[in-house]
Structure 1
Amino acid sequence: MDIAKVDVTMSDGDFSKLRAIVHKNTGITIGETRKSMLVSRLRSRLREVAAPDFAAYISHLSKDPEEMQELTNRVTTNETYFYRTPRVWDYFQDEFLPQFLTKGQNRSLRVWSGAASTGEEAHTIGTLLEDVRLKNQNFDYSILGTDVSSRVLDVATKGVYKGRSIARFRQAKPEVFKAHMTGNDTDGFSANPQIRSRIKFKLHNLFDRLSKAGPFDAVFLRNVLIYFTDDDQVKILDQVHDQMRPDGVLFIGESETLTKLNTPFEQIAPIIYRPKAKAKS
């Protein structure tokens, strides 16, 4: 298609339709002031599918169900890096893990990274848990990373990192990096096989119940709730609660809070929560 023939302006009506489509399929609410963002992220896609304007693209969406995944990939924001927000990892390492080990539980620790993006969070969890496994013969773990974007999950599954993400990791945690990462600056770095074998990634919408997963001892749901309305956050958190152990722990993002929502969680520290006991019927 001739690039000059693509109309990259978006009417208010088309903007409303696309917002509704995205919310119906992902639960994500695109703000009323984010039209320019949506245009910038979809401009190239219109050319790729030979849609002359956004009205034609919306029609294309209705005829091609697979395009919904591509739309999701384009509109979701994915920013993550190793050991993001130190207080989270300090609590997980210094408070949660010792408590888990003290209970003498003869079961594998199960962790869910609920907005896994390109996988740095799941691999951060893996480096911490591998240290514990090497020091405790009976300890084992598994990590599940999920996201609505197939594009970022492809990166997460490959698990090869380079550039700024690796430079920040190597500077912040040099001993951990040396112990658990292999590779080089040219080809990239990956976690050691012992860690990667315990991490799985899958496509998942947070509104849906995870099949054949859980219950989880720890859930990381960070920097994703801000993209949902209050009511939708409650729906998601109800789902998460149902798939957690009663003594589990939930981590959310530094710009998020549950204090004003009616959820089955109670705060134990800033951005750290635990499930409330279920009411007896």
Structure 2
Amino acid sequence: MMERDSLQDLAGDSLAAMISLVKEHTGIAMDERKGVLLQGRLRPRIRALGLAGYRAYIDHVKKGAEVPAFISLVTTNDTAFFRTPVVWDYLAGDFLPAWLRDQGSQTLRIWSAAAATGEEAYSLAMLCVDFQQANPAFRFRIDATDISPDALAVAQAARYQGRSVQRFESDRPAQFARHMVADESSWAVRPDVTRHVRFASHHLLRERSRSTYDLILLRNVLMYFTDDDQLRALTGVSAALAPHGRLVLGEQDSLTRLAVPFRLVKPHVYELSGK
């Protein structure tokens, strides 16, 4: 028996169709346990559009124009400034000094490959700006990409409030004071940081990067993909990583089941195994 199509219940055939739609447009693999999450995120949008229910919304998404809004609603953009201290300690204490010693005549190329609302990309820029002050010859550029239009809009605005900035100020008060400025009810990243970051839309499973990078951060994304899609994403990333480069993954990301050309060099940090 088919369930009734309502804004109170997302189940049965409607839930299966919605999960399939999420996979098609984002690559994220969900199961029926995510029904409540999807229901909570989509219900306000369906009501705002004046649609009859979930099946009507699925048909609306399939027409095309709603796809960007749908992607923004179903993706999770959980990030923070300087998330996972061990990663930033490695970048500041090991990676940047070694790169300057070995490749210092070049421009350091960094890709924040799942940038969400931009905190990671700006953390990278802050770290590099601080390093540049002690090493004036150092040059860098950061490309930051994400699939969510709404997340990219927040990132490009470079204004933050709430827990995101409170934790940053508490954990790294000196860096916070150097790189953030009060802006009405929020905090803005200073222009000498934002000018180093370029944001763009990118789908990890459908597009290959046209650039080569010395450092790629792909954190807390793979866990949302099937093994096959993880392999597809990492194949694209490996093609974009310079032979001497480093790949940084998230705490919950693992490569143990995948036949990929990376080997662990530090916690969460990988290099190309065939270099």
Distance 1:22 1:187 in 2: 34
Partner of 1:96: 95
- Give, as a single letter, the amino acid of the residue that structure 2 aligns with 1:131: D
Question: TM-score w.r.t. structure 2 length?
Answer: 0.93
**CA distance in structure 2 between the aligned counterparts of 1:215 and 1:103, rounded to whole angstroms:** 17
Residues 8, 54 of structure 1: 8 Å contact kept: no
In the alignment, which residue of structure 2 is the partner of 1:256? Answer: 253
Where do 1:163-182 residues align within 5 Å?
Answer: 163-182=162-181
Shift of 1:19: 1.3
The match for 2:224 is: 227
Are the structure 2 counterparts of residues 149 and 14 from structure 1 closer, same or farther at C-alpha, using a change threshold of 3 Å?
A: same
Amino acid at match of 1:52: A
* Superposed CA offset, 1:210-236 (max 9, x none): 454x21111111111111011110100
Please tell me whether the aligned partners of residues 6 and 47 of structure 1 are also in contact (alpha carbons under 8 angstroms): no
Give the whole-Å Cα distance in 1 for the aligned partners of 2:14 and 2:257.
Answer: 33
* Structure 2 match to 1:54: 54
Q: For residue 274 of structure 1, what is the aligned residue in structure 2?
A: 271
Q: 1:156 to 1:228 in 2, by over 3 A?
A: same
- Point out the more displaced range, 29-38 or 152-161: 29-38
* 1:1-281 aligned within 5 A: 7-63=7-63, 65-184=64-183, 186-212=184-210, 214-277=211-274
C-alpha spacing 1:104/1:33, structure 2 compared with 1 (3 Å): closer
Task: Give the match's secondary structure for 1:145.
Answer: strand
Shift of 1:272: 1.2
Q: Please provide the CA RMSD for this pair.
A: 1.6
Residues 11/164 of structure 1: CA separation in 2 closer, same or farther (3 Å cut) = closer
CA contact (8 A) 1:6 1:46 kept: no
* 1:32-75 residue CA offsets vs partner (Å, 9 max, x unmatched): 32111111111111112221111111111222x12111111111
Offset of residue 187 of structure 1: 3.3
Change (3 A) 1:157 1:210: farther
Matched to 2:199, the amino acid is F
Helix, strand or coil: the match of 2:161? coil
Deviation at 1:161, TM superposition (A): 1.3
Whether contact under 8 Å (1:217, 1:248) holds in the other structure is yes
**122-131 vs 103-112, greater mean Cα deviation:** 103-112
Change (3 A) 1:244 1:50: same
Per mean C-alpha deviation after superposition, the further-off stretch among 187-196 and 214-223 is 187-196
Aligned length: 271
- Find runs of 4+ consecutive structure 1 residues off by over 6 angstroms: none
The aligned amino acid for 1:48 is: A
TM-score (norm 1): 0.91
The gaps in structure 1 that reach 5 residues or longer are none
Preserved contact between residue 221 and residue 253 of structure 1 (Cα < 8 Å): yes
Query: Which digits, 9 at most, give the CA deviation of each residue in 1:8-30, with x for residues without a partner?
Result: 32241111111112112211111
Q: Which moved more, 1:245-254 or 1:161-170?
A: 161-170
State the distance in 1 between where 2:267 and 2:237 align.
Answer: 19
Separation of aligned partners in 2, 1:10 and 1:180: 44
Seen in structure 2, the aligned counterparts of structure 1 residues 57 and 107 have a Cα distance that, compared at 3 Å, is same
**How far apart, CA to CA, are the structure 2 residues paired with 1:273 and 1:161?**
31
- Distance change in 2, residues 1:176/1:7 (3 Å): closer
2: CA distance between counterparts of 1:99 and 1:189?
A: 33
Could you tell me the percent identity over the aligned residues?
37
Mapped to 2, the partners of 1:167 and 1:15 lie a distance apart of: 37
Contact 1:219 1:249 in 2 (8 A): yes
Partner amino acid, structure 1, of 2:48: E
In structure 2, the CA distance between the partners of 1:87 and 1:44, relative to structure 1 (3 Å rule), is same
User: What are structure 2's unaligned runs of at least 5 residues?
Assistant: none
